[in-house]
């Protein structure tokens, strides 16, 4: 008799266990689609409040041009944030690269087609300084990149002190081409997705983001992969610097200035863990980038003074981090 009661209890316990597992899986699924739902919500919201002006064809092309930059850099940023790093320097690195390639283009020293590779290589070199200095000096990369940011900002300010630098626009207008941009964008997302999710590079970086000591003990060369992460983000920044310049044709003191906040907001909006690790996904970075672009674009069309848009993004960033950041509760001693 007692045996039977026990067996019944065990059965009930099993069912309860299954129920809990089911609940958790559902919660995980919901968490995974929240960023997508957020994006759809924002698109619908702005389409309604602006009477459809955000979704007409001319604005969509505009939007592609605006989000294009951010999506590419966010693919690179996934590697940096994925391993647990941070990069405050992206915006002014873009500015610095723009100065270099604009000067080269002005002097007509090299063939036009070589400017894009030069831009990418400059990006890789400049950005890798973040990783190299941080690894060699053991200064947190957050601090190093803040310094690099200021150095680049100073260089750009000096270069444009007398007058803004203009590209010989006519020679490069062919590059400001939506089909070409779409191809580049697709290739970068696909390559980023492959490398981050299916190769040693991405997987090792996620291990580092999860626990750097475990990463070392698992035979991962953390020095190499730290630097590599900055080389990758540098390549994306270099790409973006070139295409932005072919569109605007001019380098000013504010070139690239808002990029850093946009990247960080995009990363957290997309559900990418701010300190990296196993939950880091390329798709989060991309969805976040699109969301931030739609938001900035929508707010402007809705009639918000463009100067306030950064303020709104800052507040949004804080709110998202507040909601998504995992805090341990009730633990004082640990």
Partner 1 sequence: MSSQCLLETKGIYKSFGPTRALVDVNLKINRGEVRGLIGENGSGKSTICSIIAGAQTADEGEMILKGESFNPKGNVDAQMQGISMIVQEAGTISGITVASNIFLGNLKQFTKGGFLSLRKMNQAAKKVLEEIGIPEIDPTALIDTLNFEDRKIVEIARAMYSEPEVLIIDETTTALAQKGRTIIYNTIRKMQEKNKSVLFISHDLEELMKVCNTITVLRDGNFIGTLTKEEMAIDKLRRLMVGRDLSGSYYRADYDGSCDDEVVLEFNQVTTGVNVENFCAKLHKGEILGLGGLSDCGMHEIGRAAFGIDKLLTGNVKLVKEGKNLIITGPEMAIKNKIGYVSKDRDKEALILTASIKDNIVSPSLPLLSKATFISPASEKKMSQEQVKTMEIKCYSDSQYCNELSGGNKQKVVFSKWLANGSEIFILDCPTRGIDVGVKANMYALMYELKKAGKSIIMISEELPELIGMSDRILILKDGVISGEFTRNEVLSEHDIIEYMI
Residues lying near partner 1 in the complex (CB under 8 A): 13, 16-17, 20-21, 23-24, 198-200, 203-204, 206-207, 210-211, 213-221, 277-279, 330-334
Q: Which residues of 282-310 are buried (b: 16+ CB within 10 A; e: fewer)?
A: bbbbbbbbbbbbbbbbbbbbeeeeeeebe
Q: Shortest gap between Cβ of 25 and partner 1 (angstroms)?
A: 8
Q: Which 3 state secondary structure label does DSSP give 15?
A: helix
Please identify, using beta-carbon distances, which residue of 20 and 48 lies nearer to partner 1: 20
Q: From the CB of 141, what's the least distance to partner 1, in Å?
A: 20
Provide the minimum distance between the beta carbon of 200 and partner 1 in the complex, in angstroms, as a whole number: 5
Strand, coil or helix: what is 166? strand
Question: Nearest approach, Cβ of 216 to partner 1 (angstroms)?
Answer: 6
Report the nearest approach of partner 1 to the CB of residue 71 (Å).
24
**Minimum CB–partner distance for residue 119 and partner 1 (Å):** 26
Distance, in Å, from the CA atom of 66 to the CA atom of 107, rounded to the nearest integer, reads 29
- Cβ–Cβ < 8 Å for 306, 329: no
Residue closer to partner 1 (CB basis): 212 or 261 = 212
How far apart CA 210 and CA 205 sit, in angstroms, is: 9
Nearer to partner 1, 170 or 334 (CB): 334
Distance separating alpha carbons of residues 200 and 192, to the nearest angstrom: 13
The CA distance from 205 to 119, in Å, is 25
Q: Which residues of 68-94 are buried (b: 16+ CB within 10 A; e: fewer)?
A: bbbbbbbbbbbbbbbbbbbbbbbbbbb
Residue with smaller CB distance to partner 1, 276 or 298: 276
| DSSP H helical ranges for 199-249 | 200-210, 212-217, 222-248
Give whichever of 12 and 171 is closer to partner 1, judged by the CB atom.
Answer: 12
Instruction: Tell the smallest beta-carbon distance from residue 22 to partner 1 (Å).
Output: 8
Separation of first and last alpha carbons in the chain:
47
Q: Which is nearer to partner 1, 199 or 254 (CB)?
A: 199
C-alpha distance from residue 37 to each of 9, 164, 220 (Å)? 41, 42, 37
Please state, as a whole number, how many other Cβ atoms lie within 10 Å of the Cβ of residue 213. 9
> Rounded to the nearest whole angstrom, what is the least distance from the CB of residue 106 to partner 1 in the complex?
40
Which residue, 181 or 204, has its beta carbon nearer to partner 1?
Answer: 204
What does the buried/exposed string (b/e) look like for 99-138 if buried means 16 or more CB atoms within 10 Å of the residue's CB?
A: bbbbebbeeeeeeeeebbebbbebbbebbbbbbbbbbeee
C-beta closer to partner 1: residue 7 or 278:
278
């Amino acid at each position: 008799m007692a045996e039977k009661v026990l067996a019944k209890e065990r059965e009930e316990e099993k069912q309860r266990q299954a129920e809990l597992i089911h609940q958790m899986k559902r919660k995980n699924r919901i968490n995974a689609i929240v960023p997508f739902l957020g994006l759809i919500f924002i698109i619908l919201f702005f389409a309604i409040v602006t009477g459809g002006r955000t979704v007409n064809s001319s604005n969509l092309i505009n939007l592609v041009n605006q989000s294009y930059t951010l999506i590419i850099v966010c693919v690179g940023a996934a590697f940096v944030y994925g391993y647990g790093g941070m990069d405050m320097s992206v915006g002014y690195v873009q500015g610095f690269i723009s100065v270099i390639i604009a000067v080269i283009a002005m002097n007509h020293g090299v063939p036009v087609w070589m400017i894009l590779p030069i831009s990418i290589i400059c990006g890789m070199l400049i950005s890798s300084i973040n990783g190299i200095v941080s690894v060699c000096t053991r200064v947190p990369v957050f601090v190093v990149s803040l310094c690099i940011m200021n150095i680049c900002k100073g260089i750009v300010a000096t270069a444009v002190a007398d007058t803004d630098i203009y590209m010989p626009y006519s020679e490069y207008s062919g590059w400001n081409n939506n089909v070409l941009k779409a191809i580049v964008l697709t290739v970068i997302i696909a390559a980023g997705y492959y490398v981050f999710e299916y190769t040693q590079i991405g997987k090792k970086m996620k291990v580092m983001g999860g626990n750097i000591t475990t990463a070392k003990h698992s035979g991962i060369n953390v020095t190499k992969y730290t630097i590599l992460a900055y080389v990758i983000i540098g390549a994306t920044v270099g790409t973006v610097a070139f295409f932005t310049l072919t569109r605007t044709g001019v380098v000013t003191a504010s070139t690239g200035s808002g990029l850093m906040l946009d990247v960080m907001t995009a990363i957290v909006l997309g559900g990418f863990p701010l300190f990296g690790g196993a939950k880091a996904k390329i798709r989060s970075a991309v969805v976040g980038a699109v969301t931030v672009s739609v938001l900035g674009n929508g707010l402007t069309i809705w009639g918000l003074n463009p100067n306030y848009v950064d303020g709104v993004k800052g507040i949004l960033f804080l709110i998202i981090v507040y909601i998504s950041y995992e805090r341990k509760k009730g633990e004082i001693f640990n």
